[in-house]
């Protein structure tokens, strides 16, 4: 837009005052419209649109109340030796980016989607951060230090969900599933060491390919640790279970990758974490189809299959 510009012509006092006022008002008007000037938000808009389409797809399926059956032609999961990694859950068959351990568990069951509440479409903002591992959706480094204060520094061997850096994620081959690329892939890793005695900096190792990464606590979600001292917040006895319809991040069966999922059934009361289901405490009632020590989960983009995942591999969804 045009703006007033100074010249060489001498103005009278009255004209000078009027010109200054015009310049002032022009400047104020320009400042006022700055917030409305379009900026390049292509990537943000793409992400927002993708999230909206994903939720719309889930809503359409829920409205239909259909039963989905696995495609018999689907690529089978890669099977590794039993020494590779203890299986955290059951199910398989869907092609996933990172393949993990051997499992003798039965094939996944399909979900009667008519039984899933519409609240399963809740956003991560609407879920509590107390269940499972304490978690904040957009936690800064300072907030994470406070969340895990009594656990720091994380000890070598501690299992964590680790967010792969963007460059690695983009060059990692197949991006099928909900992980995608661009630094949104969460994998199972173990802590190798604390770097320079800094409680915020760690070296972690991918349990799948053995690659190591230097990272910070912002890219780590510590998993519940049954071997920790019973007074620490990391011990399962001090944690709650996620209630039905919670949005969580969970290890997909027979892989070493974490994906977003909706809780269909929490572990059977008395077999989950020590504080019981959030909001119900010791008087928790079993969800339909509940199993001992296992979550029953509906992963996004998984054809309506209900998967069983061991309780220590389910954490709050980080967003």
The pLDDT value given to residue 144: 78
Tens of pLDDT, residues 215-237: 999 999 999 999 999 999 999 99
Radius of gyration of the chain (CA): 25
Tell me the pLDDT band of 47, cut-offs 50, 70 and 90: low
**Range 141-222 has CATH code 3.20.20.140:** no
With a threshold of 0.75, does the pTM exceed it?
A: no
- Using alpha carbons, select from 207, 252, 279 the residue that is nearest to residue 90: 252
Nearest to 220 by CA among 310, 315, 89: 315
Query: Strands, DSSP E only, in the chain?
Result: 109-110, 159-163, 186-194, 201-206, 212-216, 220-222, 247-251, 257-265, 294-299, 305-310, 314-316
Given a cut of 60, whether residue 246 has pLDDT beyond it is yes
**12 or 66: which leads in pLDDT:** 12
**Mean pLDDT across 233-250:** 95
Separation of alpha carbons 258 and 253, rounded Å: 9
Token pair in block for residue 16? 């000078």
- In 3D space, the residue among 122, 57, 129 whose CA is nearest the CA of residue 263 turns out to be 122
């Amino acid at each position: 837009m045009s703006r007033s510009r100074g010249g060489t012509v001498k103005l009278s006092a009255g004209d000078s005052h009027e010109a200054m006022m015009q310049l002032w008002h022009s400047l104020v008007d320009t400042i006022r419209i700055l917030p409305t000037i379009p900026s390049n938000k292509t990537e943000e808009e793409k992400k927002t649109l993708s999230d909206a389409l994903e939720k719309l797809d889930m809503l359409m399926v829920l409205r239909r109340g259909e039963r989905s059956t696995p495609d018999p032609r689907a690529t089978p999961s890669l099977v590794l030796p039993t020494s590779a990694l203890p299986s955290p859950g059951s199910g398989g068959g869907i092609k996933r980016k990172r393949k993990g351990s051997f499992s003798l568990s039965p094939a996944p069951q399909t979900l009667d989607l008519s039984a899933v509440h519409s609240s399963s479409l809740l956003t991560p903002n609407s879920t509590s951060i107390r269940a499972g591992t304490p978690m904040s959706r957009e936690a800064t480094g300072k907030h994470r230090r406070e969340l895990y204060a009594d656990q720091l520094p994380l000890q070598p061997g501690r299992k964590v969900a680790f967010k792969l850096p963007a460059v690695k994620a983009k060059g990692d081959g197949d991006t099928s599933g909900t992980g995608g690329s661009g630094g949104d892939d969460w994998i199972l890793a173990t802590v190798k060491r604390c770097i320079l005695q800094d409680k915020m900096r760690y070296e972690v190792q991918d349990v799948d390919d053995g690659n190591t990464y230097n990272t910070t606590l912002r890219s780590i979600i510590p998993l519940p640790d049954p071997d920790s001292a019973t007074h620490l917040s990391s011990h399962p006895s001090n944690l709650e279970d996620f209630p039905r319809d919670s949005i969580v991040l969970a290890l997909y069966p027979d892989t070493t990758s974490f994906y977003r999922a909706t809780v269909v059934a929490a572990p059977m009361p008395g077999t989950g974490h020590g504080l019981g289901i959030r909001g119900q405490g010791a008087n928790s009632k079993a969800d339909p189809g509940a199993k001992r020590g296992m979550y029953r989960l509906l992963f996004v983009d998984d054809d309506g299959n209900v998967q069983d995942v061991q309780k220590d591999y389910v954490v709050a969804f980080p967003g």
